[in-house]
Chain A
Amino acid sequence: DVKVTQSSRYLVKRTGEKVFLECVQDMDHENMFWYRQDPGLGLRLIYFSYDVKMKEKGDIPEGYSVSREKKERFSLILESASTNQTSMYLCASSSSLGTSGGLSLAKNIQYFGAGTRLSVL
């Protein structure tokens, strides 16, 4: 089974703190994604990465940065947390190649972590 693990289910931080959200996948996927989920807005893409050290802005990158030093790990960083960043954060990964780790996977399917609910006070 594909596993995408987010380090925290719940997180409470103070305004101005630097916040790290970690995501690890175990299927050697090339692509990793960070989404933000808010009621009535669905999922919005913050950043994504299609290779180690590669990153691209999504639809709402302001106030966020990312790091991908290893293929399996994709970190979302809030440099100075603000109250309007209180939200649910979802990490996902996918393969572009159709196979991964010896298993045949349908490419293009994104596999999600359980989410981190972040509250910034």
Chain B
Amino acid sequence: AQTVTQSQPEMSVQEAETVTLSCTYDTSESDYYLFWYKQPPSRQMILVIRQEAYKQQNATENRFSVNFQKAAKSFSLKISDSQLGDAAMYFCAYRSEGYGGATNKLIFGTGTLLAVQP
């Protein structure tokens, strides 16, 4: 079974600085998707960024980028120029490739609570 591990329960960053959140996963599959979701205090879970395992290029979305190391099974999230609105719980998630049924499931890590200091 696949597992996702986030080893940093809490992180803190100064406004305008850069922070990296760690995520490792375990799988025997070769094709899969990885996601970072953000959950602000309002509780609405929002997709931040997604990576397909078959793509070697790291995904980027504005100030958010990932460092995807497939061999090491590592998927870290880098937030550049941190803003107060980035303060949230961040979840790393894994999804198998495939269509339908159980392959639609997401497997989540336990989350990292990010605080942004002004």
> For the side of the interface on B, what is the size category?
20 to 34
Q: Digitize B104-118: 1 where CB-to-A-CB distance is under 8 Å, 0 elsewhere.
A: 111011110000000
Counting residue pairs across A and B whose Cβ atoms lie within 8 Å, the total is 59
Majority secondary structure of chain A interface residues (helix, strand, loop or mixed): strand
Q: Which residues of A contact B100 (CB under 8 A)?
A: 50, 96
> Is B50 touching A109 in the complex (CB atoms < 8 A)?
yes
Tell me, in angstroms, the Cα distance from A42 to B45 when the chains sit together.
12
Pick from B43, B99, B101: contact of A114, CB below 8 A. Answer: B43
**Is B28 in the interface zone, CB < 8 Å from A?**
no
Q: Is the CB of A114 within 8 A of B110?
A: no
Contacts beyond the supplied A43-B106, A113-B44: 7 A-B pairs with Cβ under 8 Å: A31-B104, A33-B104, A33-B106, A41-B110, A48-B105, A106-B50, A110-B47
A residues at B contact (CB < 8 Å): 31, 33, 35, 40-45, 48, 50, 56, 58, 88, 90, 92, 94, 96, 106, 108-115
Contact call A108/B105, Cβ cutoff below 8 A = no
Specify which chain A residues have a CB less than 8 angstroms from the CB of B4 in the assembled complex.
42
B99: chain A residues within 8 A (beta carbon) = 96
B positions within 8 Å CB-CB of A: 4, 6, 9, 33, 35, 37, 42-47, 50, 91, 95, 99-102, 104-106, 108-111
Residues in B with CB closer than 8 Å to A56 are 101-102
In this complex, what residue of A is CB-closest to B33?
A108
Bound-state Cα–Cα, A88 to B45, Å: 12
> How far apart are the CA atoms of A115 and B89 in the complex, in Å?
14
- Contact yes or no, A112 B45, CB < 8 A: yes
CB-contact partner of B104 in A48, A112, A113, under 8 A:
A48
In angstroms, Cα B96 to Cα A54, docked, is 20
